[in-house]
Amino acid sequence: MSHHEPLIRDSLSGKVLMNTEVKAERCYQCGKCSAGCPVVDQMDIPPSQLLRLLQTEIPSNDEKILRSHTIWLCLNCEMCIGRCPMEVDIPPMMDFLRSESIRRKMVNPKAGNIIAFHRSFLESIRYTGRLFELGLVLSYKSKTFHLFQDAGLAPEMIAKGKLGFIPERIKKVADMKRIFSRTLKKGVQS
Protein backbone atom coordinates (compact mmCIF):
# COMPACT_ATOMS: atom_id res chain seq x y z
CA MET A 1 0.00 0.00 0.00
CA SER A 2 1.18 3.44 -0.84
CA HIS A 3 1.64 5.73 2.12
CA HIS A 4 1.95 8.87 0.04
CA GLU A 5 -1.70 9.29 -0.78
CA PRO A 6 -4.08 10.82 1.74
CA LEU A 7 -7.01 8.52 2.33
CA ILE A 8 -9.60 11.25 2.12
CA ARG A 9 -9.44 13.56 -0.85
CA ASP A 10 -11.54 16.64 -1.07
CA SER A 11 -12.19 16.36 -4.81
CA LEU A 12 -15.35 14.96 -6.29
CA SER A 13 -13.30 11.96 -7.41
CA GLY A 14 -12.33 11.40 -3.76
CA LYS A 15 -15.95 11.59 -2.67
CA VAL A 16 -16.98 9.16 -5.38
CA LEU A 17 -14.35 6.74 -4.11
CA MET A 18 -15.43 7.13 -0.49
CA ASN A 19 -19.12 6.68 -1.22
CA THR A 20 -19.19 4.16 -4.02
CA GLU A 21 -15.76 2.50 -4.07
CA VAL A 22 -15.48 3.54 -7.72
CA LYS A 23 -11.93 4.57 -8.57
CA ALA A 24 -11.94 7.09 -11.40
CA GLU A 25 -8.21 6.55 -11.97
CA ARG A 26 -8.95 3.05 -13.22
CA CYS A 27 -10.49 4.51 -16.38
CA TYR A 28 -8.01 4.55 -19.26
CA GLN A 29 -10.33 6.35 -21.61
CA CYS A 30 -11.05 3.61 -24.08
CA GLY A 31 -14.55 4.95 -24.61
CA LYS A 32 -16.30 1.57 -24.63
CA CYS A 33 -18.89 2.93 -22.16
CA SER A 34 -19.71 5.88 -24.39
CA ALA A 35 -19.84 3.62 -27.42
CA GLY A 36 -22.40 1.33 -25.83
CA CYS A 37 -24.44 3.91 -23.90
CA PRO A 38 -28.01 4.01 -25.25
CA VAL A 39 -28.49 7.68 -24.40
CA VAL A 40 -25.05 9.04 -25.22
CA ASP A 41 -26.46 11.07 -28.11
CA GLN A 42 -28.60 13.04 -25.69
CA MET A 43 -25.84 13.56 -23.15
CA ASP A 44 -23.88 16.79 -22.87
CA ILE A 45 -20.89 14.86 -21.52
CA PRO A 46 -20.43 11.23 -22.61
CA PRO A 47 -19.64 8.87 -19.71
CA SER A 48 -15.99 8.39 -20.66
CA GLN A 49 -15.49 12.14 -20.80
CA LEU A 50 -17.22 12.51 -17.45
CA LEU A 51 -14.67 10.12 -15.97
CA ARG A 52 -11.88 12.15 -17.57
CA LEU A 53 -13.22 15.34 -15.95
CA LEU A 54 -13.38 13.47 -12.65
CA GLN A 55 -9.75 12.36 -13.02
CA THR A 56 -8.49 15.95 -13.32
CA GLU A 57 -9.62 16.78 -9.76
CA ILE A 58 -10.02 20.39 -10.80
CA PRO A 59 -12.89 22.15 -8.97
CA SER A 60 -14.31 23.74 -12.11
CA ASN A 61 -14.44 20.32 -13.77
CA ASP A 62 -16.11 18.82 -10.73
CA GLU A 63 -18.75 21.50 -11.03
CA LYS A 64 -19.18 20.79 -14.73
CA ILE A 65 -20.03 17.21 -13.83
CA LEU A 66 -22.51 18.12 -11.13
CA ARG A 67 -24.21 20.65 -13.41
CA SER A 68 -24.35 18.22 -16.34
CA HIS A 69 -27.47 16.85 -17.97
CA THR A 70 -25.68 13.51 -18.35
CA ILE A 71 -26.02 12.40 -14.74
CA TRP A 72 -29.81 12.74 -15.03
CA LEU A 73 -30.06 11.03 -18.39
CA CYS A 74 -28.23 7.89 -17.27
CA LEU A 75 -30.77 5.07 -17.33
CA ASN A 76 -28.78 2.78 -15.07
CA CYS A 77 -29.14 0.14 -17.78
CA GLU A 78 -25.72 -1.22 -16.67
CA MET A 79 -24.47 -1.62 -20.25
CA CYS A 80 -21.29 0.34 -19.45
CA ILE A 81 -20.24 -1.80 -16.52
CA GLY A 82 -21.29 -4.91 -18.41
CA ARG A 83 -18.58 -4.20 -20.98
CA CYS A 84 -16.02 -2.02 -19.21
CA PRO A 85 -12.60 -3.67 -19.48
CA MET A 86 -11.46 -1.90 -16.33
CA GLU A 87 -14.64 -2.65 -14.37
CA VAL A 88 -15.30 0.98 -13.50
CA ASP A 89 -18.79 0.71 -12.01
CA ILE A 90 -20.45 3.79 -13.51
CA PRO A 91 -24.12 3.27 -12.49
CA PRO A 92 -23.66 3.55 -8.70
CA MET A 93 -21.31 6.45 -9.35
CA MET A 94 -24.11 8.19 -11.29
CA ASP A 95 -26.47 7.59 -8.36
CA PHE A 96 -24.00 9.31 -6.08
CA LEU A 97 -23.37 12.21 -8.47
CA ARG A 98 -27.11 12.87 -8.69
CA SER A 99 -27.53 13.08 -4.94
CA GLU A 100 -24.41 15.24 -4.72
CA SER A 101 -25.74 17.53 -7.44
CA ILE A 102 -28.96 18.02 -5.47
CA ARG A 103 -27.07 18.51 -2.23
CA ARG A 104 -24.90 21.23 -3.74
CA LYS A 105 -27.89 22.73 -5.53
CA MET A 106 -26.27 22.34 -8.93
CA VAL A 107 -29.03 20.48 -10.71
CA ASN A 108 -29.07 21.02 -14.46
CA PRO A 109 -32.18 23.00 -15.47
CA LYS A 110 -32.97 20.45 -18.18
CA ALA A 111 -33.22 17.76 -15.52
CA GLY A 112 -36.30 19.38 -14.04
CA ASN A 113 -38.72 16.93 -15.61
CA ILE A 114 -36.73 13.94 -14.60
CA ILE A 115 -36.40 15.00 -10.99
CA ALA A 116 -40.05 16.06 -10.88
CA PHE A 117 -41.00 12.59 -12.03
CA HIS A 118 -38.81 10.86 -9.47
CA ARG A 119 -40.19 13.11 -6.72
CA SER A 120 -43.79 12.55 -7.72
CA PHE A 121 -43.05 8.85 -7.68
CA LEU A 122 -41.57 8.92 -4.22
CA GLU A 123 -44.35 11.15 -2.88
CA SER A 124 -46.85 8.63 -4.11
CA ILE A 125 -45.26 5.78 -2.23
CA ARG A 126 -44.46 7.87 0.83
CA TYR A 127 -48.15 8.33 1.62
CA THR A 128 -49.56 5.00 0.51
CA GLY A 129 -46.67 2.56 0.41
CA ARG A 130 -47.41 1.66 -3.19
CA LEU A 131 -47.33 3.47 -6.46
CA PHE A 132 -50.63 5.05 -7.48
CA GLU A 133 -50.10 5.45 -11.21
CA LEU A 134 -52.89 7.92 -11.92
CA GLY A 135 -51.85 9.97 -8.93
CA LEU A 136 -48.25 9.89 -10.11
CA VAL A 137 -49.16 11.16 -13.55
CA LEU A 138 -51.34 13.94 -12.16
CA SER A 139 -48.77 15.00 -9.61
CA TYR A 140 -46.03 14.97 -12.24
CA LYS A 141 -48.10 17.03 -14.62
CA SER A 142 -48.87 19.61 -11.98
CA LYS A 143 -45.15 19.82 -11.24
CA THR A 144 -44.07 20.23 -14.86
CA PHE A 145 -47.13 21.82 -16.46
CA HIS A 146 -46.98 19.15 -19.16
CA LEU A 147 -50.74 18.88 -18.88
CA PHE A 148 -51.43 17.44 -22.28
CA GLN A 149 -48.48 15.17 -22.76
CA ASP A 150 -49.60 11.55 -22.63
CA ALA A 151 -53.18 12.72 -22.22
CA GLY A 152 -54.10 10.31 -24.99
CA LEU A 153 -52.86 7.29 -23.06
CA ALA A 154 -55.16 7.62 -20.08
CA PRO A 155 -58.55 6.89 -21.68
CA GLU A 156 -57.24 3.78 -23.36
CA MET A 157 -55.55 2.64 -20.18
CA ILE A 158 -58.82 3.10 -18.35
CA ALA A 159 -60.68 1.22 -21.07
CA LYS A 160 -58.25 -1.69 -20.77
CA GLY A 161 -58.56 -1.75 -17.03
CA LYS A 162 -54.96 -0.68 -16.56
CA LEU A 163 -55.52 2.47 -14.54
CA GLY A 164 -57.10 2.43 -11.09
CA PHE A 165 -58.83 5.43 -9.58
CA ILE A 166 -58.32 4.69 -5.94
CA PRO A 167 -54.84 4.46 -4.49
CA GLU A 168 -54.00 1.19 -2.76
CA ARG A 169 -52.69 1.69 0.70
CA ILE A 170 -50.56 -0.67 2.69
CA LYS A 171 -51.67 -1.39 6.25
CA LYS A 172 -48.63 -0.04 7.97
CA VAL A 173 -48.24 3.31 6.25
CA ALA A 174 -46.39 4.35 9.37
CA ASP A 175 -43.52 2.14 8.19
CA MET A 176 -43.20 4.31 5.08
CA LYS A 177 -43.15 7.51 7.11
CA ARG A 178 -40.44 6.02 9.29
CA ILE A 179 -38.33 4.88 6.31
CA PHE A 180 -38.68 8.16 4.47
CA SER A 181 -37.99 10.38 7.42
CA ARG A 182 -34.95 8.38 8.50
CA THR A 183 -33.34 8.15 5.07
CA LEU A 184 -34.15 11.42 3.42
CA LYS A 185 -33.54 13.70 6.39
CA LYS A 186 -33.13 16.78 4.25
CA GLY A 187 -32.16 17.83 0.78
CA VAL A 188 -33.92 15.34 -1.45
CA GLN A 189 -37.53 16.30 -1.00
CA SER A 190 -37.81 19.98 -1.74
Partner 1 sequence: MARIGVFVCHCGENISATVDCDRVAENASGLPGVVHSVDYKYMCSDPGQTLIKEAIKEHKLTGVVVAACSPRMHEPTFRKACAEAGLNPFLCEMANVREHCSWVHEKTESTTQKAKDVVRLLVEKVKRNEALQPIKVPVTKKAVVIGGGVAGIQASLDIANGGHQVLLVEREPSIGGHMSQLSETFPTLDCSQCILTPRMVEVAQHPNITLWSYSEVIGLDGFIGNFTVKIRKKAKSIDEHLCTGCGLCTQKCPVRKIPSEFEQGLGTRPAIYTPFPQAVPNKPVIDKLNCTYYLKGRCKLCERVCPTQAIRFDQPDEIVEVQAGAIVLATGYDIKRTDFFPEYGYGKYKDVIDGLQFERLASASGPTGGMIRRPSDGQIPKNIVFVACAGSRDPAKGIEYCSKICCMYTAKHAMLYKHKVHDGTPYVFYMDIRAAGKDYDEFTRRAIEVDRTKYIRGRVSRIYEKEGKLVVVGADTLLGGQKVEIEADMVVLATASVANPGSEELAQIVHVSYDRYKFFAEAHPKLKPVETNTAGIFLAGACQAPKDIPESVSAASGAAAKVLGLFANDELTREPLVAVVNRMAPPLFSTCIGCFLCQPVCPYNAIEREEFKTRDGKLLKAVARINPGLCQGCGTCVALCRSKSIDLYGYSNKQIYTEVSALLDEALV
Partner 2 sequence: MKIGFYPGCSVDGGSREYKESCRALAKAYGIELESVPDWNCCGASAAHNLNRELALALPARILSLAEKAGMTDLLVPCAACYNRLMLTQHELMKDETLRKNISEVTGLEFKGTCSILNVVHWIQKWILPELPEKIKKPFDYKVACYYGCLLVRPHKVLKFDRPEDPQSLDEVMKLIGATPVDWAFKTECCGAGLSVSKTDVVADLSGKIVRDAVYRQADALIVACPMCHSNLDMRRREINGYLKQNVSLPVIYVTQAIGLALGIDRKELGLHRHFVPVNLPEKAEATK
Residues binding partner 2: number (CB under 8 A) = 58
Exactly one of 18, 151, 172, 177 binds partner 2 (CB under 8 A); that residue is 172
The answer to whether the beta carbons of residues 29 and 21 sit under 8 Å apart is: no
Select from 65, 61, 116 the least CA-distant residue to 94: 65
Output 36 or 167, the one with its CB closest to partner 1.
36
How many Cα neighbours within 13 Å face the side chain of 66?
Answer: 20
Strands (E), 42-167: none
CB of 136 to partner 2, least distance (A): 8
Q: Single out the residue of 12, 17, 24, 46 in contact with partner 1 (rule: CB under 8 A).
A: 46
Label residue 150 left, alpha or beta by phi (over 0 means left) and psi (-120 to 50 means alpha).
Answer: left
Select the residue interacting with partner 2 from 35, 81, 86, 138 (CB under 8 A): 81
84 lies in the binding site for partner 1 (CB under 8 A)? yes
The total of other beta-carbon atoms located within 10 Å of residue 72's CB is: 20
Q: Could you say whether residue 82 binds partner 2 (CB under 8 A)?
A: yes
* Rg of the chain in Å (alpha carbons): 20
Residues 134, 143: contact at Cβ < 8 Å?
no
* Residue from 19, 23, 35, 163 in contact with partner 1 (CB under 8 A): 35
Residues contributing to the site for partner 2 (CB under 8 A): 38-39, 42, 73, 75-79, 81-82, 89, 91, 95-96, 98-99, 102, 113-119, 121-122, 125, 129-131, 133, 137, 140, 149-150, 152-153, 156-157, 160-164, 168, 170-172, 175-176, 178-180, 182-184, 188
